[in-house]
A and B are shown apart, each in its own frame.
Chain A
Amino acid sequence: MAFARNQWYVAAYGSEVGRELLARTVLGEPLVLYRTGAGEAVALADRCVHRRYPLSESRLDGDTIVCGYHGFTYDQTGSCVFVPGQQRIPRTARVAAYPVVEQDSFVWVFIGDRDRADPTTIPRAPWLTDPRYAVVRGMAPLNARYGLLVDNLMDLSHETYLHGGYIGTPEVANTPITTEVDDERGIVYVSRHMDDAECPPFYARSTGIQGRITRWQDIEYHPPCLYLLHSRIAPQGVYPPAQGEDTEAFHAEIVYAITPSTENTTYDFWAVARDFAIDDESVSEYLHQSNHTVVMQDVTALNILEQVIAAEPEKYQELSINIDTGGLAARRLLARMVDAGRVEATR
């Protein structure tokens, strides 16, 4: 499956990047991440220019990495500042340094032509660092191509069947959606507003709502990497006021970063930010455990699907129905990004 280059991707949570060397592969490019003594996150190519030894298997000396094989030493810009046994450092002795931005608890890296890296184009997930929200999160490596996770998240009707007993109820699959595509900004928005729905355990136990609910799911996908699900839960019949804050409802901002690692593996970063019971540790524990279970149900299903797709002939004819309207739009925007990255690469 093709990648969209010249785009920003989440390589890690900020909390994962410290004074230990962290290896991540993004769009097939091996990276080593660390944090300088001054606190700046750094991403370098994870291969020593000499004999390709992984720098992530080496050690930090101050803000430099000393290759664990022959001692080639690189600063945070990727320049080699020491080679063993000689004074002259070859002019080509450097490794690529990737543009890095820390934002909304994520470490974003730009994969492509670094001159095209514009940090203002990185989509936002501000709830993840907003003190008015409590956040649980995790990351699940997926043995499946990233497009399968995009398909999965863009069509939440699967909640009814794959996640019954957690977040799925019959109304999810049965409620029509509205799909919007902003062609200029490259955003897909899918709304599913359920006026009268069963409350799944995920929300019944965390909000304390007894009885039926009005449940809104509003997906906002910023391809290629950031997926937001604005989830509004309220007692049945309670709608936002015409003006002012929506204080009668419970809001969960569910954030995914979908980062292709290799052709057939993906990093599935997930987070649930809520504006209710934010100081209740038992709610955090419950939501973390439940969402982890839900994510792993997806991981199991998508890993199976990857095996199926890998073994079948090219151009298998799929069938798409109404529930796929958003997923089809996402595929199209991704395909356009893949093509744009290819064209730019050949210039």
Chain B
Amino acid sequence: MSGPARMLTGDRVYRIHWMPGTDILRGVCHCGAERVAEEPVELWEWLLAHPQGHHSPVPPAPEVPTRTAVPA
């Protein structure tokens, strides 16, 4: 895989990565909180409940986009 893309750059972006080679989804909140789940409904509910139940042990590391933007 080319690695999970990170295309949206806003301050309030929720992400769900489907982990390659598994059935596991990893949800990442804009606050840095993370959680894994086996189906998306429960994971969206947890993400969108922010900040309830979200506590990030470490600040999220900055990520660099993995691909060059396609020229328009």
Chain A interface (Cβ < 8 Å from any Cβ of B): 126-127, 130, 175-185, 187, 189, 191, 193, 195, 216, 218, 220, 230, 232, 239-246, 251, 320-322, 324-325, 328-329, 332
Contacts and interface: CB of A to CB of B under 8 A. Distances in A.
B10 A239 contact: no
A177 B70 CA distance: 19
B5 interface: yes
B7 interface: yes
A258 B44 CA distance: 24
Nearest to B50: A183
A246 B41 contact: no
23 contacts: A177-B18, A179-B15, A179-B16, A180-B8, A180-B16, A182-B10, A183-B10, A183-B14, A183-B30, A187-B8, A191-B7, A195-B1, A216-B2, A239-B2, A240-B67, A244-B68, A246-B68, A251-B70, A320-B40, A322-B39, A325-B18, A325-B43, A325-B44
Interface centre among B6, B25, B70, by most chain A C-beta atoms within 10 angstroms, is: B70
A325 B25 CA distance: 9
Given A242-B68, A320-B41, A321-B40, A218 B14 contact: no
Q: Which secondary structure characterizes the binding site on chain B?
A: loop
A225 to B, nearest CB: 19
B58 interface: no
B36 to A, nearest CB: 12
Contact of B5 (A193, A243, A324): A193
Contact of B13 (A130, A180, A322): A180
A214 to B, nearest CB: 8
B68 A176 contact: no
B57 interface: no
B65 to A, nearest CB: 11
Contacts of B17: 176, 178
Given A195-B1, A325-B18, A246 B71 contact: yes
Contacts of A322: 18, 23, 25, 39-40
A176 B40 contact: no
A342 B2 CA distance: 42
Sort A-B residue pairs by CB-CB distance and give the 8 closest, nearest first: A176-B18, A191-B5, A325-B40, A240-B68, A193-B2, A182-B10, A178-B4, A183-B12
Contacts of B61: none
Contacts of B25: 322, 325
Given A322-B39, A328-B41, A332-B44, A180 B1 contact: no
A190 B70 CA distance: 16
A332 B8 contact: no
B20 interface: yes
Interface of B: 1-8, 10-20, 23, 25, 30, 39-41, 43-44, 48, 67-68, 70-72
Q: Which secondary structure characterizes the binding site on chain A?
A: mixed
Given A193-B5, A242-B68, A321-B39, A178 B13 contact: no
A14 to B, nearest CB: 20
Given A182-B12, A193-B5, A328-B40, 6 more contacts: A181-B15, A183-B12, A242-B68, A246-B68, A325-B40, A328-B44
Contacts of A177: 18
Given A328-B41, A328-B44, A180 B18 contact: no
A181 B16 CA distance: 9
Contacts of B1: 175-176, 193, 195
B13 A183 contact: yes
A240 B2 CA distance: 11
Given A322-B25, A322-B39, A181 B14 contact: yes
